[in-house]
Amino acid sequence: MFRKALPPGVEQQDIDEGRMPFLAHLGELRQRLIVSVIALGIGFIATFSFSERIITWLAQPVEPVKLVFLEPTEPFWVNMKVALIAGAFLVLPVLLYQVWAFIAPGLLPHERKFAMPFVVLSTLMFFVGAAFALKVIIPFAVKFLVSYKTQNLVPTLSVNRYVDFILKFTLAFGLVFELPLALTLGTRLGLVTPEFLSKNRKYAILLCFVAAAILTPTPDAFNQLLMAGPLCLLYEAGIVCSRLFGRRKTVAA
């Protein structure tokens, strides 16, 4: 079997023991970024011809309101953007594996066995979060916002801003649904304990609302609450998962 060529000055023993020089880290980062960009390019090419269908599907919550474009180049860039995000969804396992492969040299040998579970579970949780946003949160939020005190107003929605709203909400929910996995993995690696997470629940709830304010694409409290609520529930789920599946270790002072 052929083995991957190591960067100059790096021995296999150093990698096995979790040691890698700074320049080698930069070389590894460069390689992972190149692979990720290539994967994104492949995903973009595979999904570009479906971008118009995806936009039509995303516009369903605002029907019968029609989306409009305000600039001649707007439809082109919206299709490009949708194809890029859809392509990223398509190659998400590859992207997540590149993240793990980059941090793996800094882990102990027994910690690297979590690579495949990390890739599979993080991909699954991201898709669950995105599906929850697209099927539950976004239709409810869009219908509420479009109909809120608009009896004397005519809705004119820009396709670019509407798609931005949908994509940002979807990506944000995909990321926050990784929280239980992140807490469980942190417990397995000895970074936190279930007791620590429970003790600092009030601070975590505050951070959930701060994160919701940052991640939501609009500044209104309604959308922030729609994200902060599930985020708090996911934190509680993370505590339960860390108790069930995490190996408890004492966090070093």
Residue 79 confidence (pLDDT) above 90: yes
Mark which of 124, 145, 177 sits at the end of a domain: 177
Mean pLDDT of the 100-125 span: 76
Residue 193 in domain? yes
The most confident of the ranges 78-82, 110-114, 204-208 is 78-82
Do 172 and 123 have their domain in common? Answer: yes
pLDDT digits (tens, 9 = 90+) for 153-184: 788 888 999 999 898 888 888 888 888 888 88
Q: Please state the pTM of the whole predicted model.
A: 0.74
DSSP states of the chain? ---PPPPTT--HHHHHTT---HHHHHHHHHHHHHHHHHHHHHHHHHHHTTHHHHHHHHTGGGTTSPEE-SSTTHHHHHHHHHHHHHHHHHTHHHHHHHHHHHHGGGS-GGGGGGHHHHHHHHHHHHHHHHHHIIIIIHHHHHHHHHHTT-TT----EEHHHHHHHHHHHHHHHHHHTTHHHHHHHHHHTTS--HHHHHHTHHHHHHHHHHHHHHHSSS--HHHHHHHHHHHHHHHHHHHHHHHHHPPP-PPP-
Do 148 and 80 have their domain in common? Answer: yes
CA distance 72 to 70: 7
Residues whose CB is less than 8 angstroms from the CB of residue 42 and which lie 6 or more positions away in sequence, other chains included:
87, 91
Predicted pLDDT of residue 1: 37
Do 143 and 228 have their domain in common? Answer: no
Q: Which domain holds residue 54?
A: 19-177
Do 156 and 200 have their domain in common? Answer: no
Residue 58 confidence (pLDDT) above 70: yes
Mark which of 128, 158, 177 sits at the end of a domain: 177
Q: Average model confidence (pLDDT) for the chain? A: 80
pLDDT digits (tens, 9 = 90+) for 190-224: 778 888 888 888 888 888 888 888 777 666 677 77
Predicted pLDDT of residue 247: 57
Predicted pLDDT of residue 97: 86
Residue 2 phi/psi, 5-degree rounding, is -80, 140
Do 163 and 186 have their domain in common? Answer: no
Q: How many domains does the chain have?
A: 2
What's the pLDDT band for 110 if we cut at 50, 70, 90?
low
Residue 12 in domain? no
Residue 35 in domain? yes
Residue 237 in domain? yes
Residue 129 confidence (pLDDT) above 60: yes
Residue 122 confidence (pLDDT) above 60: yes
Do 217 and 130 have their domain in common? Answer: no
Do 41 and 107 have their domain in common? Answer: yes
Predicted pLDDT of residue 19: 54
Residue 6 in domain? no
Contact in structure between 98 and 66 (CB atoms under 8 Å): no
- Worst-scoring range by mean pLDDT, 13-17, 129-133, 193-197, 215-219? 13-17
Do 79 and 110 have their domain in common? Answer: yes
- Worst-scoring range by mean pLDDT, 40-44, 97-101, 106-110, 207-211? 106-110
Do 163 and 212 have their domain in common? Answer: no
Mean pLDDT of the 134-145 span: 84
Mean pLDDT of the 115-143 span: 86
Do 199 and 152 have their domain in common? Answer: no
Residue 206 in domain? yes
Mean pLDDT of the 73-98 span: 91
Predicted pLDDT of residue 168: 85
What's the pLDDT band for 249 if we cut at 50, 70, 90?
very low
Residue 148 confidence (pLDDT) above 70: yes
Percentage with pLDDT > 70 across the chain: 83
Do 91 and 28 have their domain in common? Answer: yes
Do 200 and 134 have their domain in common? Answer: no
- Of the candidates 175, 232, 227, 226, the one whose C-alpha atom is nearest the C-alpha of residue 203 is 232
- Of the candidates 97, 91, 85, 89, the one whose C-alpha atom is nearest the C-alpha of residue 42 is 91
Residue 3 in domain? no
